[in-house]
Structure 1
């Protein structure tokens, strides 16, 4: 049984490794060793998460996918959550979440009946918590949009300041022929951010020599 820990934060400004010590402590208490940490800064509302799918690709039947909270795994809509669940089920990976005590039994040996019973209970609770996480995400987005609309109406909204130094670095790497993946690794930004800078370069007027 191999334990693989998944750590995620939504933006590059957030620390994706924040819960690393908690996961290590949880594993140690149960005599387990975390083989690999898979860390990424991507929104839980999107299915395209390279590190999560690398974890699943590396996994073997019976391995544990250890997370701090279910919302680290998913803030997906129902359709995308079903796709992710299908991938997890096909790999026969057991999800253990610190905020889901019914999943903790997967971190220790149990008889077949107990294992199947808790697997059924855990599956239902996972679906429920994934739905709650999605609703929380949608509620926050709605409140944020309402706040921005009010701020715009009152002339107070300026938007997020652009990280010009970082974007200049991305532009320089693009001009030198670096791939999107290489730039993402070096600068810790999302693919859409790199694409935005690439489009900006492409549309920039050419100055005469």
Structure 2
């Protein structure tokens, strides 16, 4: 069975009529319509559609970006379809995973996506290395000053208060107190 998915953003001046017409012309027997952003995962109609897919079904969309705005998410969705034994067709881009040429095209898209992820990772690591060499350290800033950290550790070690009391007193998570007291991150003085 060919199952269509039509999506437009939430703006009121948009409708799915053009997409629905193209999906019907392509043989979609059932069409799910949605007014939601393509960058979000909380799309009830898409989830209904995916829940109703059976092996041998084909998900049909007008354009790839109707299914997802993110290449990573798109590939994740398409991998899920493949796992379920369902096919995929994009009418505008003429991708059809029910044919060998369509599967090859999808693998090429996946290869480019993987290349892009690797390039981003490489640039990120290079940027972090430069920042470290300049003395900058990433991560969240400490909620406690150096003096507060020292006082917290001293107070717990001298048994003026328990770790739970120290967490409440200093407004931090109990795990933060445990880490400081255990000396895994010694207090800065």
- TM-score normalised according to structure 2 size: 0.51
**Is residue 123 of structure 1 aligned with residue 100 of structure 2?**
no
Q: Tell me what 1:67 maps to.
A: 61
Question: 2 CA distance for matches of 1:43 and 1:127?
Answer: 23
Question: 1 CA distance for matches of 2:34 and 2:42?
Answer: 11
Question: 2 CA distance for matches of 1:129 and 1:96?
Answer: 19
Q: Tell me what 2:10 maps to.
A: 11
- 1:55 is displaced (CA, Å) by 0.7
Paired residues in the alignment total 113
Runs of 5+ unmatched residues, structure 1: 28-33, 107-114, 132-209
- 1:24 is displaced (CA, Å) by 1.6
Runs of 5+ unmatched residues, structure 2: 115-189
Can you list the C-alpha shifts for 1:161-195, whole angstroms capped at 9, x where unaligned?
A: xxxxxxxxxxxxxxxxxxxxxxxxxxxxxxxxxxx
> Is the contact between residue 56 and residue 91 of structure 1 (CA under 8 Å) also seen in structure 2?
no
Question: 2 CA distance for matches of 1:40 and 1:128?
Answer: 30
Question: 1 CA distance for matches of 2:66 and 2:20?
Answer: 13
**Is residue 97 of structure 1 aligned with residue 80 of structure 2?**
no
Aligned 1:1-209 pairs, distance under 5 A = 2-13=1-12, 14-27=14-27, 34-76=28-70, 78=72, 80-103=73-96, 106=98, 115=99, 117-124=100-107, 127=110
When the two chains are superposed, the root-mean-square deviation of aligned CA atoms in Å is 2.7
* 3-state SS of 2:17 partner: coil
Structure showing greater Rg: 2
* Structure with greater proportional helix content: 1
* 3-state SS of 1:66 partner: strand
